[in-house]
Structure 1
């Protein structure tokens, strides 16, 4: 928001407060982003007037390649690193490459400080291949070099590579620092690799980083995303410095595990201890209110953001409020809320309403919202599938077919649903109707037995969740869902009484949710299902989400 930045700069000067070198370093990129040359020229004049023209960071912000080439000044590694940092933070890859060329001409490429800035620029500009080439062809690497590569992998969703770089750094004899550990824990969390995460935990214990709040918050998140709520909370309890980052990580873990009431209790406890919540803290708290139907509390916390904590609500918070209203069936209020918002609604906000339209069967509103989403994100298959399901549920099969045809016209493919689980450090993946496993016959026999057992307990197939099935075969297609196959496999191979943890790349369906509840009671097992939205922990026939998800 460059013009807003300039407006604040003007207000600051009008109150008699003089800008310093940091102010000018911050405002110059805003001048550039406005694309109005006069602003930059006027700011340049002010810089001379206040005597900051020789400051390294201010000068770096003023540089372009022509000035760099023609200037009698010789920029050093600090100048180049500052410019590259600006390129990284504004994703200006083309400009960054020109700076790279100038670095080579001036013989500064061998300096680790400059090379690390180049690696960071390429990684943040989504040109990771260039970062890798630079990493392997240049000289010495310090721990920062490795950290930049690990973080680059994480930012580019290449989590396995991040873990590989971490191990390679250790093999070269370098000791990881807090950034190294925090980044690799993030990668382990995203992979839901519990064994790897616990191994890193052991290393952290040996190297003395257990007192570092940044590392500990990453560890809390790792255990949470790996399905281990108990250990996540245990780490929080053992952390000496309960700063806002640790509190927020723990609240988020409880919310993701369906323990929304506990998440809200933690938030209240945090406030009582005088910890000031941050932007992201409220996202988890509002989401917790949404998933428990606590509308009044949700609005109370939402209003406290600006009234008490001076935090301006963002798209994520507004999406939570829409979801809060929509989940309890107040669809018209949710739609009115969107239309009266101070910001333009994005896909997450409209998506929350579309999901509720499917749940409550509002065809007209669902069509209207879906059309907005088709414009905002035409390549997202989930919106097409939701609208198609709304039509199918109401017997509007021709309309549903038209939506599927539209997907074909727009070359949008529905993501294939799959579930996976780890047994003895080996990952087993299942898709719907999967018969590729070596124990397929045993898996389907276990499914048949499970079906008989749950029917005796009162199970009735929820055929509205059967998609792409021939009429009359809906129930059978439900019993071939990937998470049910994974469950049957887990019952076969895991010791009696041990937990079964299943991960899925899409949202689990209502029928599978019901079957998991029955199975947890019948087999006296804890069953944990992590879908794309949250964790469901099934115990004694109940789910942690209290069937509100």
Structure 2
């Protein structure tokens, strides 16, 4: 005889205390508001996130952490620090997440002294032991500021074993600042920890390419690794358009390319000089300029220019870090077209307007 089925054994069990906590949590609108504020910030609508923040009860660190992180994502490190001071003034105790968001905000704004102060403060005043995330933020902080030896010495002095994110942050900084020798050291440690990560091999290859060390590039490419293709997306008329670097299959490619050629002519007239360091192929200068012009964010911006009304705000999402040449080009484009152009790359938001970027050319 088949025993009767006990339905309860197949249903998820929630302890009474947890059930009561969940009911209280889900009945509190502030939790939803915090999530909405986080969404607004990550979608480029920082003003909406800020407006919602001031409608939320701010008695815990959660809403503060959210808004500090949003400001860091947009490169507003000093405003993130102001929020932290206001948080303390209102008697809210910071936690380990607070300091991760603050250190990240300092890193993206070049606030090295403030970042060092925060790293010491969290240990001295709040007894928070640094995690790998905190250490990673510090390496990133020093690295972005060009203090590569300081970053390297910081890693060597860490009381815990560095993981791939730590060495990856140093390698990324070496690529940006052109320190091939230290970058090679970082990559050796990195590949001991995570030898199969394609992105790190590509980062090393890009560093070699920028330095003109093509033998190093060939060695890495000989491993047959497939890099992540660069793409940018944007929404126009409730439709998401995606553009891949170098792709010519878009139905409006001819119009897009024509717009780009016109813009490049205008940019050169007011001082634009292509930066060929960001072409990762060993080709002639004319071909390098053509490759730069086909970067995904430029295709997306040109598409927006020919499909949206004049002076309409343009917002682009990009899966990789924006290169320095595209950053310069987007500043010129915002000036020529009198448009605000917002680009969210893999690191942060860039707000371009009247030929200036909100990052102050620091990212």
2:82 aligns with: 265
Q: Structure 2 length as normaliser, TM-score?
A: 0.92
- 1:415 aligned to which of 228, 239, 242: 228
Gaps of 5+ in 1: 1-103, 119-143, 149-175, 180-208
Distance 1:529 1:178, change over 3 A: farther
- The ranges of structure 1 where at least 4 consecutive aligned residues each deviate by more than 4 angstroms after the TM superposition are 176-179
Kindly report which structure 2 residues correspond to 1:408-447, keeping only aligned pairs within 5 A, or say none: 408=224, 412-447=225-260
Asked if 1:470 is matched to 2:287, the reply is no
Question: In structure 2, how many angstroms separate the alpha carbons of the residues matched to 1:533 and 1:116?
Answer: 39
Distance 1:451 1:312, change over 3 A: same
2:110 aligns with: 293
Note the alpha carbon deviations across 1:47-84, whole angstroms, 9 max, x for none: xxxxxxxxxxxxxxxxxxxxxxxxxxxxxxxxxxxxxx
1:116 aligns with: 12
Asked if 1:335 is matched to 2:231, the reply is no
2:312 aligns with: 498
Note the alpha carbon deviations across 1:262-282, whole angstroms, 9 max, x for none: 111111111111111111111
Note the alpha carbon deviations across 1:216-248, whole angstroms, 9 max, x for none: 111111111111111111111222345311111
Note the alpha carbon deviations across 1:69-113, whole angstroms, 9 max, x for none: xxxxxxxxxxxxxxxxxxxxxxxxxxxxxxxxxxx98833x33x8
Asked if 1:392 is matched to 2:209, the reply is yes
- 1:366 aligned to which of 159, 183, 190: 183
CA contact 1:213–1:243 (8 Å) conserved in 2: no
Kindly report which structure 2 residues correspond to 1:445-456, keeping only aligned pairs within 5 A, or say none: 445-456=258-269
SS class of match (1:421) = strand
> How far is the alpha carbon of 1:117 from its aligned partner?
5.2
CA contact 1:421–1:486 (8 Å) conserved in 2: yes
SS class of match (1:116) = coil
CA contact 2:332–2:355 (8 Å) conserved in 1: yes
> How far is the alpha carbon of 1:547 from its aligned partner?
0.9
Whichever structure has more helix as a proportion of its residues is: 1
> How far is the alpha carbon of 1:390 from its aligned partner?
2.1
1:349 aligns with: 166
Q: Structure 1 length as normaliser, TM-score?
A: 0.62
Kindly report which structure 2 residues correspond to 1:134-145, keeping only aligned pairs within 5 A, or say none: none
> How far is the alpha carbon of 1:114 from its aligned partner?
4.8
Note the alpha carbon deviations across 1:328-377, whole angstroms, 9 max, x for none: 22211211110110111111111111111112221221111112222222
Gaps of 5+ in 2: none
CA contact 2:77–2:111 (8 Å) conserved in 1: no
Relative CO higher for 1 or 2, CA cutoff 8 Å, sep ≥ 6?
2
Question: In structure 1, how many angstroms separate the alpha carbons of the residues matched to 2:128 and 2:4?
Answer: 45
SS class of match (1:343) = coil
CA contact 1:213–1:242 (8 Å) conserved in 2: no
SS class of match (2:109) = coil
Note the alpha carbon deviations across 1:288-309, whole angstroms, 9 max, x for none: 2222222221111101111111
- 2:5 aligned to which of 91, 99, 107: 107
1:485 aligns with: 299
Q: How many pairs are equivalent?
A: 355
Root-mean-square deviation (CA, aligned residues, Å) is: 2.2
- 1:520 aligned to which of 330, 334, 350: 334
1:546 aligns with: 360
Kindly report which structure 2 residues correspond to 1:279-318, keeping only aligned pairs within 5 A, or say none: 279-318=96-135
